Amino acid sequence: MIKVFLAEVITDSRQKELTAQRMEELEQLVSTYWWLSIVKAVQQRIKPDYKTYIWPWKLEEIIEWMKESWAELLIFGNILKPAQIYTLNEILRKASKDDEIQLKAWDRVDLILKIFDRHATSSEARLQIELASIKHMWPRIFWMWMELSRQWWWIWTSWIWETNTEIMRRHLRTRRQQIVKQLSKYEQVRENHRKARKKKYLPTVWLVGYTNAWKSSVMNALTNKGVLVENKLFATLWTDVGKLYIPSMTWKWTEILINDTIWFIRDLPPSLIKAFTSTLEDSIEADILLHVIDASDPLWDDKIEVVDTILDTIWAEQPRCYVFNKLDLLDQAWISRSTFLEESSSWLEMYCEKKDYETPEILSVSAVSGEWLKELEEYLVQRLQKKR
């Protein structure tokens, strides 16, 4: 098991309240990959260092701590520029030149992509992750290959003088085109499924939420689908569809399709979101978005904004219902259910007014115990009946 050193740079004093939560989230990401985090360091600066992001004197301290504890990898909770990652790895390489352990540095996106790669099971998910990796790697190519020499290549009837950077870019460009072509086939299949659902009058509900909000538990409670439920980040990396059966026979449809799709998390770069567009496109066609929120999380309001920002990025404009999950943990945590719902409703009304959203629908549920689940089912039926 690899030992990992975690680092975070705070550039805004307003982030102080989120620091502990961000570091805890970073540690969860590391444990999801089955690594062991040993030390955490936080540095507050008005702006990051131009070359190494973290200031040089702090980096020297971290290197010493890593050597003393036999840590191999330095992971930043921030997103670094390609030149900064290159410079950091060069410093770490020289610092560990004569040691048994070779030190390396990653940023937040590197870690997330590694987790994606490990947990992906479907061929489509693997293609999407490879595409995201290519988009993330593309601006780093110059720094990765800047010290390599040129090569001669025989093409048709002449020799061509080409750098390794150009070779790598050509290879990645070709591979990206191949992946996009393969993903378009999956998109076509999904498009056909959506057309078939419309012909059968099958309404669709899309579950969204911050990672580890237990969306999959809500999915199982509504549909008995039996999807994977784990208390860790990124348990779901693909789309699962279940059916909620309606007892009434007076409508044109007697079942509702519930989609459980991939998680959301803060500081996702646009290139990463675009790589999963084909998976997220079902949200644009869904009739209702159920935004599942971990009510026991003290920072639930901050995570709501993270999810809504990503939804706005992919142009998901359907009616949204905010569903607070894990209500059974509230009394054990820090507030009673009634007080929590009253305060959260007031905050959400002001929030939606500021965001120019519809007047929010707010429900509560405990997916584990099944409490208040009937209210959620009744809401879905009433809302979809009006839409029809």
Q: Of 60, 89, 90, 64, which Cα lies nearest the Cα of 75?
A: 89
Q: Are residues 201 and 194 in contact, defined by beta-carbon separation less than 8 angstroms?
A: no
Which superfamily is assigned to 200-387 in CATH? P-loop containing nucleotide triphosphate hydrolases (3.40.50.300)
How much is the CA Rg of the chain, to the nearest whole Å? 24
Q: Of 291, 267, 293, which Cα lies nearest the Cα of 212?
A: 293
Q: How confident is residue 91, by pLDDT bands cut at 50, 70 and 90?
A: very high
pLDDT at position 367 is 79
Task: Give me the chain's average pLDDT, please.
Answer: 77
Residue 251: exposure state from Cβ atoms within 10 A (0-12, 13-18, ≥19): middle
Using alpha carbons only, give the angle 221, 379, 197 rounded to the nearest 5 degrees: 75
Kindly state the tokens that stand for 66.
């890593």
Does the pLDDT of residue 166 top 80, yes or no? no
Higher pLDDT, 35 or 65: 65
Q: Of 211, 311, 302, which Cα lies nearest the Cα of 263?
A: 211
pLDDT at position 342 is 83
**Which residue type does 283 have?**
S
pLDDT at position 149 is 41
Angle between helices 337-355 and 300-313 (to 10 degrees): 30
Torsion of CA 60, 64, 65, 67, to 10 degrees: 140
Torsion of CA 303, 304, 307, 308, to 10 degrees: -150
| pLDDT tens per residue, range 313-350 | 777 777 788 999 887 776 655 566 777 888 888 899 89
Does the pLDDT of residue 178 top 60, yes or no? yes
Overall CATH class of domain 3-114: alpha beta
pLDDT at position 278 is 59
Does the pLDDT of residue 142 top 60, yes or no? no
Distance (Å, whole) CA 44 – CA 62 = 15
Domain boundaries, given as residue ranges, for the chain:
3-114, 120-186, 200-387
Higher pLDDT, 259 or 162: 259
Does the pLDDT of residue 284 top 80, yes or no? no
pLDDT at position 322 is 92
Distance (Å, whole) CA 137 – CA 288 = 36
Distance (Å, whole) CA 258 – CA 244 = 7
Q: Are residues 5 and 76 in contact, defined by beta-carbon separation less than 8 angstroms?
A: no
Torsion of CA 10, 14, 15, 21, to 10 degrees: 150
**Which residue type does 15 have?**
Q
Q: How confident is residue 148, by pLDDT bands cut at 50, 70 and 90?
A: very low
Topology match between the domains 3-114 and 200-387: yes
| pLDDT tens per residue, range 9-30 | 887 655 666 777 778 888 888 8
Q: Of 276, 260, 271, which Cα lies nearest the Cα of 228?
A: 260
Q: Of 103, 67, 72, 110, which Cα lies nearest the Cα of 88?
A: 103
Kindly state the tokens that stand for 103.
């030190």
Least confident span in 238-242, 251-255, 375-379? 251-255
Q: What is the mean pLDDT of residues 366-383?
A: 82
Relative to beta strand 158-163, strand 288-294 is unpaired
Expressed in percent and rounded to 5, the helix, strand and coil fractions of the chain are 50, 20, 30
Distance (Å, whole) CA 105 – CA 93 = 10
How many CB atoms sit inside 10 A of residue 304's CB?
19
Q: Are residues 115 and 46 in contact, defined by beta-carbon separation less than 8 angstroms?
A: no
Most confident range (mean pLDDT) of 143-157, 175-189, 368-382 is: 175-189
